[in-house]
Amino acid sequence: MEEKLISQKKPFYPISSALNRYLKQYNRWVFTPVFYEDLLRFSGSVVVYDAQDKDTLWVRVYYSDSERRDIDSNLKKVYALLHSDGNESSYPYLSVDAIDYCTFGNSKPFRVKIRNILNDNFTYFYVKRTDASRVYGLEFEHMLSPYNLNFLVNDTTLIEEHIAGIPGDEFIAHHLAQCSPSEQAQIAKEYVKFNERCMIRLLGDMRAYNYVIIPTHDFDQVVYKIRAIDFDQQSFEGKLMVYRPQFFKENFPMVSVVKDKLKQDSIEQYKIEERSILAKRIISSGNRLKNLVTIMQEDKLSHPENHDKLSSEIYKFTKDEAFQKSRNMGDVMRASFDYVLRHYENQNMANLIRS
For residue range 300-318, what is the model confidence (pLDDT) as tens digits?
Answer: 999 999 999 999 999 999 9
The amino acid occupying position 24 is K
- Does residue 105 share a domain with residue 133? yes
Please state, in angstroms and rounded to a whole number, the distance separating the CA atoms of residues 241 and 316.
13
- Does residue 202 share a domain with residue 135? no
Q: How is residue 92 annotated by DSSP?
A: G
pLDDT tens string 112-135: 999 999 999 999 999 999 999 999
* pLDDT for the residue 229: 96
Angle, vertex CA 305, rays to CA 300 and CA 306, nearest 5 = 70
Does a structural domain hold residue 72? yes
Biggest alpha carbon–alpha carbon distance for the chain: 73
Q: Is the pLDDT of residue 353 over 70?
A: no
Sign of CA dihedral 17, 19, 22, 26: negative
- Does residue 346 share a domain with residue 217? yes
Does a structural domain hold residue 143? yes
* pLDDT for the residue 289: 97
Q: Are 324 and 312 in contact (CB under 8 A)?
A: yes
**Coil, strand or helix at 113:** strand
pLDDT tens string 185-243: 999 999 999 999 999 999 999 999 999 999 999 888 899 999 999 999 999 999 999 99
Does a structural domain hold residue 69? yes
Q: How is residue 203 annotated by DSSP?
A: B
Confidence of residue 66 (pLDDT cuts 50, 70, 90): confident
Please state, in angstroms and rounded to a whole number, the distance separating the CA atoms of residues 226 and 195.
10
Q: Are 227 and 191 in contact (CB under 8 A)?
A: no
Does a structural domain hold residue 1? no
What Å distances lie between residue 303 and 3, 232, 252, 299, 327, CA to CA?
19, 15, 29, 12, 11
Instruction: Give the end of a domain, one of 161, 194, 220.
Output: 161
Phi (first) and psi of residue 39, to 5 degrees: -70, -20
Q: Give me the chain's average pLDDT, please.
A: 93
Total domains in the chain come to: 2
* pLDDT for the residue 3: 47
221, containing H or E segment: strand 221-228
Does a structural domain hold residue 5? no
* pLDDT for the residue 355: 53
- Does residue 281 share a domain with residue 182? yes
Q: How is residue 219 annotated by DSSP?
A: T
- Does residue 171 share a domain with residue 150? no
Q: What's the domain range around 86?
A: 11-161
Q: Is the pLDDT of residue 261 over 60?
A: yes
Higher confidence at residue 353 or residue 195?
A: 195
Please state, in angstroms and rounded to a whole number, the distance separating the CA atoms of residues 337 and 322.
11
- Does residue 287 share a domain with residue 205? yes
91, containing H or E segment: none
pLDDT tens string 314-343: 999 999 999 999 999 999 999 999 999 998
